[in-house]
Amino acid sequence: MMIVMKESATTDQVEAVVRQVEHVGARAHVSKGELHTVIGAIGDREHVANLELDGMPGVDHVVPITRPYKLASLQFKREEYSVFDIGGRKVGGNNFMMIAGPCTIESRDQMLTAAAAVHEAGAQLLRGGAYKPRTSPYSFQGLGEGGLRLLAEAREETGMPVVTELMDVRDLEPILEVADVIQVGARNMQNYTLLTEIGRAGRPVILKRGLSAQLEELLMAAEYVLKEGNEEVILCERGIRTFESGYRFTLDLMAIPVLKQHTHLPVIVDPSHAAGRRDLVLPMSMAAAAAGADGVIVEVHPDPEHAICDGPQQLRTTEFEHYLRQVEAAASLAGKEVAAKV
Ligand code: PEP
Ligand code: MN
């Protein structure tokens, strides 16, 4: 339930409503808008429904939120999409965010070359995995803290904010020292203890859709992060498992407009992991951009033939600028702009 206070409501009146909400064991989430303060009452549905707040001083009106996710719902933000600032780069609204970089951090040379190329072409955020969720336990698992140091160096050299995956809460501290955005991989989308810790860490998050997750499950996962007070969650469609075997996953582009009907959170697309093949990355990125995605996260490598991980799907650094320009043109069809190079 969402309690919209009057423009003239006093702090005491807001506090009185909060007390009333908390009295039935629910949580009160206060958000101060330009004109109105809105209080989200989150908790047991029945207890909250029995609260009679309409008549309390300072209350303008009460809106029931019918979805199981509350803080993630578009209703909760009064039909306004969220825009976040990540190191001076905006995501959401009319901004199209280009996130690019290698699948995994392999070496200083590889990381710095990739970073310089994507920066030069005009990407806003740099990706690079130091902890890798590999299907086989015998595959390369990432450079760990050594990789994070290289990512920090790439950030220093280019000035780009960086995103990297956190797989295990035990690695939170070193990740927090480097990451401007924390990525939760598809395989961890429903790792609720991890989501809760990330929520408490208060750093922007890219939350990837699980391989077989429904959109409502993705939104409930986001709710775990939001519930801890971390409002900066970016949802990422990265392909789901279907019966089709002609490509790695099926990129669910319908997720973009459907998520946008239900949530205020930005929605980006990862065409690289969905396709598993370089030739599909550009058409799928353009389609995602034209469908209204708030950005893409794409893998780029200086020498994909010798990449340790995901070589066949990584764009070559030499083709990245052309790729970006094409995606930019598609994004403009949906009224979004890639920010000018910083
Ligand atoms: C990744 O982005 O590095 C990754 C492993 O993606 P996903 O979790 O979507 O498979
Ligand atoms: Mn990868």
Residues paired with residue 207 on neighbouring β-strands, in sequence order: 184, 235
Choice among 3-7, 101-105, 248-252, 321-325 with the minimum mean pLDDT: 3-7
Residue to mutate, 163, 235, 270, 309, ligand 1, most ligand atoms under 8 Å from C-beta: 270
**What pLDDT is attached to residue 191?**
98
Residues paired with residue 132 on neighbouring β-strands, in sequence order: none
Task: Tell how far the Cα of 103 is from the centroid of ligand 2, in angstroms.
Answer: 4
Neighbours of 63 (CB within 10 A): 14
Considering the chain, what percentage of its residues have pLDDT values greater than 90?
87
pTM, rounded to two decimals: 0.93
Residue 66: pLDDT above 80? no
Assign 3-state DSSP to the chain and report helix, strand, coil percentages, each to 5. Answer: 40, 20, 40
**What pLDDT is attached to residue 129?**
98
Residues paired with residue 233 on neighbouring β-strands, in sequence order: 205
Q: H helices of 291-339, where? A: 320-333
From residue 332, alpha-carbon distances to 86, 294, 295 in Å are 21, 11, 12
Q: Residue 59: which residues within 8 A CB-CB, separation 6 or more? A: 3, 4, 5, 6, 9, 13, 17, 53
What is the tens place of the pLDDT at every residue in 91-103? 999 999 999 999 9
Core vs surface per residue 30-40: b (16+ CB within 10 A) or e: eeeeeebbbbb
Residue to mutate, 136, 187, 208, ligand 1, most ligand atoms under 8 Å from C-beta: 208
Task: Tell how far the Cα of 273 is from the centroid of ligand 2, in angstroms.
Answer: 6
Dist CA 45 CA 65 (whole Å) = 10
Extract the tokens encoding 243: 């019966």
The residue-averaged pLDDT of 219-233 equals: 96
The residue-averaged pLDDT of 49-66 equals: 86
Residue 63 banded pLDDT, cuts 50, 70, 90: confident
Residue 78 banded pLDDT, cuts 50, 70, 90: confident
